[in-house]
Chain A
């Protein structure tokens, strides 16, 4: 029983990480049709900026309120980079989907290399508050606090994104744009402003994932984003491109499946099962579990 609770909660922690990366990817893809390979870069920027801030930024640190400041700095950095990428690199190629993918591919290669050039290829120890290294007893299972932190953060982010989409003008534009972008412009709305916005949201969530994921793992390395990104892609496809709620469901399914199979089966088998799940979902429901509504 303890094991099952532990596996469930650590699985949810993993799911939280996937969701934070996938939610932005999904919105960016759903609205702007950009398959963003550079999303892992936003995660890396968030992680390294947090790491840097904890050591160098006045007021920030590795513990207590200082840590909150450091994470906020990391998220801000990730958001800024995402906005810059959209404005400078993606926007000029508006509606040229393949070129946009190619640019993000180039960016992901160059960006990771840049992180590596600046901070070295090896993993570095991540500063983290003392309490995140401890465990909390949940129904008899000792669950790492770092994982619980991820879950709480993901739930908050999910709530914030849904509130934003549901109740604000730009949220409305984004929801409509995911359905039919052309028709949004035909109502007199400059949909490109919304592109910048979804990049900002995605960048912020990914940077948060970078910071909190590094807390969870205890280290930060340039390639971190890349391996997470593949599973985040899988989550986006299973969840249905453009659906934040779908991403949440898919993230939970993928995280739990991976954790349980890796524990009860051989290590690595869970990862393979996830790909199997993807293949099954795609063959049965190519649009994902909550995919884009086909415009009538």
Chain B
């Protein structure tokens, strides 16, 4: 008559709040992990450690630090994008636009208009935020897939504007190297890469802080409500449009700020950052990491960019070269590997990396308590 429920829980939904993960020793250590990670991040530039296979040079070499800085910027970007996708349920395909606005805005204002960096950054972030607010105001009149298409189309305008080089501002296909004479000396040159690393770390920390504050606030709970069931929020007398616009604008502003940092790290702007591919990559990062989770998107962003860079070296490595051509050639394409991993992740780890820990905990739990019934 009654079915005995076995202790295992059905596959966790996409958003597994990390607070709900089962306890144990691991559970006691867990809350401190981000602090440990931060401490590691803070000490990295002082370490001369060699990690062969993971990084090419020592940890404190400029090459390694630059890669890490790029990874952290994308960790922050992914966290910001997750504010839309994972936490509010908005599938935007145009997030690259605000990031690109940040990169090109800074670059153009410094290089072409000759503004000092801090002014350029200020104007760019303000401008990027306003841009997001304007486009959001239009795009959010649609929902679901139509919203995805509209944001994609607007981002395409950005890509066209950059590629066609209107007014000779963007440098077209060639991109626009940053004129460093307007940039404080501490942020210029190979020897100062460590300062860019600090900047990227600061950006990541700020984004994570903002995103967590927002999602913990009453606004964040409304956003989560929108994700789960928009009508229910409407019934409460709250205007979904306004809340979504707030999230959209905030995420756009955070992306523009990331653009400013990225522009400094790579020393200029190139048109590929305007492509829809970048937005798709953000989506991949968030899904790989675990949408709507506390640390998943950050991890996903960092890991994705790391793999994207390192897989080039992996593809050129002897181990891959030794394989037959039909294997070695695809493996030498980072996007092939990442795309394939992504597809597998959608099938087998719907909650992303963040769902792995609770799953492992469940596994351990079910091993300890022999399951009854069934």
Say yes or no: is A230 at the interface (Cβ < 8 Å to chain B): yes
Q: Does the CB pair B138–A279 fall under 8 Å? A: yes
Complex Cα distance, B145 from A233, in Å, reads 11
Residues 122-143 of B contacting A (Cβ, < 8 Å) = 138, 141-142
Say yes or no: is A99 at the interface (Cβ < 8 Å to chain B): yes
Q: Does the CB pair A114–B91 fall under 8 Å? A: no
Q: Which residues of A contact B138 (CB under 8 A)?
A: 279, 283
Q: Which residues of B contact A279 (CB under 8 A)?
A: 138, 150, 153-154
Complex Cα distance, B94 from A17, in Å, reads 24
Say yes or no: is B152 at the interface (Cβ < 8 Å to chain A): yes
Q: Which residues of A contact B153 (CB under 8 A)?
A: 230, 233-234, 275, 278-279
A105-B283, A286-B146 are known contacts. Are A230 and B276 too (CB-CB below 8 A)?
yes
Q: Does the CB pair B336–A106 fall under 8 Å? A: no
Q: Does the CB pair B164–A105 fall under 8 Å? A: no
Instruction: Tell me how many residues of A have a C-beta within 8 Å of chain B.
Output: 43
Q: Which residues of A contact B332 (CB under 8 A)?
A: 117
State the Cβ distance, A278 to closest chain B Cβ, in Å.
Answer: 5
Which among A65-73, A135-143, A204-212, A265-273 touches the partner chain? A265-273
Q: Which residues of A contact B347 (CB under 8 A)?
A: 92-93, 103
Q: Which residues of A contact B350 (CB under 8 A)?
A: 99
Q: Which residues of A contact B339 (CB under 8 A)?
A: 106-111, 113
Complex Cα distance, B145 from A236, in Å, reads 12
Say yes or no: is A5 at the interface (Cβ < 8 Å to chain B): no
Complex Cα distance, B350 from A267, in Å, reads 44
Q: Which residues of B contact A99 (CB under 8 A)?
A: 346, 350
Selected contact of B277 from candidates A101, A109, A271, CB within 8 Å: A109
Q: Which residues of A contact B156 (CB under 8 A)?
A: 230, 271, 275
Complex Cα distance, B157 from A102, in Å, reads 23
Complex Cα distance, B343 from A114, in Å, reads 15
Complex Cα distance, B145 from A106, in Å, reads 17
State the Cβ distance, A267 to closest chain B Cβ, in Å.
Answer: 6
Q: Does the CB pair B277–A226 fall under 8 Å? A: yes
A105-B283, A109-B277, A113-B336 are known contacts. Are A118 and B329 too (CB-CB below 8 A)?
yes
Produce 1/0 per residue, A195-234, CB < 8 A to B. Answer: 0000000000000000000000000000000100010011
Say yes or no: is B338 at the interface (Cβ < 8 Å to chain A): yes
Say yes or no: is B160 at the interface (Cβ < 8 Å to chain A): yes
Closest to A283 in B: B141
Residues 270-296 of A contacting B (Cβ, < 8 Å) = 271-272, 275, 278-279, 282-283, 286
Say yes or no: is B215 at the interface (Cβ < 8 Å to chain A): no
Complex Cα distance, B340 from A109, in Å, reads 9
- The residue among B161, B163, B334, B346 with the most chain A CB atoms within 10 A of its own CB is B346
Complex Cα distance, B276 from A35, in Å, reads 15
Q: Does the CB pair B145–A103 fall under 8 Å? A: no
A101-B91, A106-B340 are known contacts. Are A230 and B152 too (CB-CB below 8 A)?
yes
Q: Does the CB pair B346–A103 fall under 8 Å? A: yes
Q: Which residues of A contact B166 (CB under 8 A)?
A: 266, 268
Q: Which residues of B contact A226 (CB under 8 A)?
A: 276-277
Say yes or no: is A163 at the interface (Cβ < 8 Å to chain B): no
Selected contact of B335 from candidates A29, A93, A109, A234, CB within 8 Å: A109
Complex Cα distance, B145 from A286, in Å, reads 11
Complex Cα distance, B14 from A98, in Å, reads 12
Selected contact of A110 from candidates B146, B164, B276, B336, CB within 8 Å: B336
Q: Which residues of A contact B336 (CB under 8 A)?
A: 109-110, 113-114, 117
State the Cβ distance, A96 to closest chain B Cβ, in Å.
Answer: 9
Q: Does the CB pair A233–B340 fall under 8 Å? A: no
Q: Does the CB pair A272–B157 fall under 8 Å? A: yes
Complex Cα distance, B334 from A112, in Å, reads 11
Complex Cα distance, B142 from A241, in Å, reads 14
Q: Does the CB pair B146–A282 fall under 8 Å? A: yes
State the Cβ distance, B254 to closest chain A Cβ, in Å.
Answer: 22
Q: Which residues of B contact A106 (CB under 8 A)?
A: 284, 339-340, 342-343, 346
Produce 1/0 per residue, A16-56, CB < 8 A to B. Answer: 00000000000001000101010000000000000000000
Closest to B275 in A: A226
- The residue among A29, A114, A230 with the most chain B CB atoms within 10 A of its own CB is A230
Produce 1/0 per residue, A77-118, CB < 8 A to B. Answer: 000000000000100110000110111011111111110111
Q: Which residues of A contact B148 (CB under 8 A)?
A: 35, 101
State the Cβ distance, A18 to closest chain B Cβ, in Å.
Answer: 14
Say yes or no: is A237 at the interface (Cβ < 8 Å to chain B): yes
Q: Does the CB pair B343–A113 fall under 8 Å? A: no
Produce 1/0 per residue, A240-256, CB < 8 A to B. Answer: 01000000000000000
Q: Which residues of A contact B154 (CB under 8 A)?
A: 275, 279
Closest to A234 in B: B153
Say yes or no: is B149 at the interface (Cβ < 8 Å to chain A): yes
Say yes or no: is B333 at the interface (Cβ < 8 Å to chain A): yes
Q: Which residues of B contact A29 (CB under 8 A)?
A: 145
Complex Cα distance, B340 from A92, in Å, reads 16
State the Cβ distance, B115 to closest chain A Cβ, in Å.
Answer: 27
| 22 contacts across the A-B interface (CB closer than 8 A) | A29-B145, A35-B145, A102-B342, A105-B280, A105-B283, A106-B340, A109-B281, A109-B284, A109-B335, A110-B335, A110-B336, A113-B335, A113-B336, A114-B330, A117-B333, A230-B153, A233-B152, A237-B149, A268-B160, A272-B157, A279-B153, A279-B154
The 7 closest A-B pairs by CB, nearest first: A110-B339, A268-B164, A109-B339, A113-B336, A113-B335, A106-B342, A113-B333
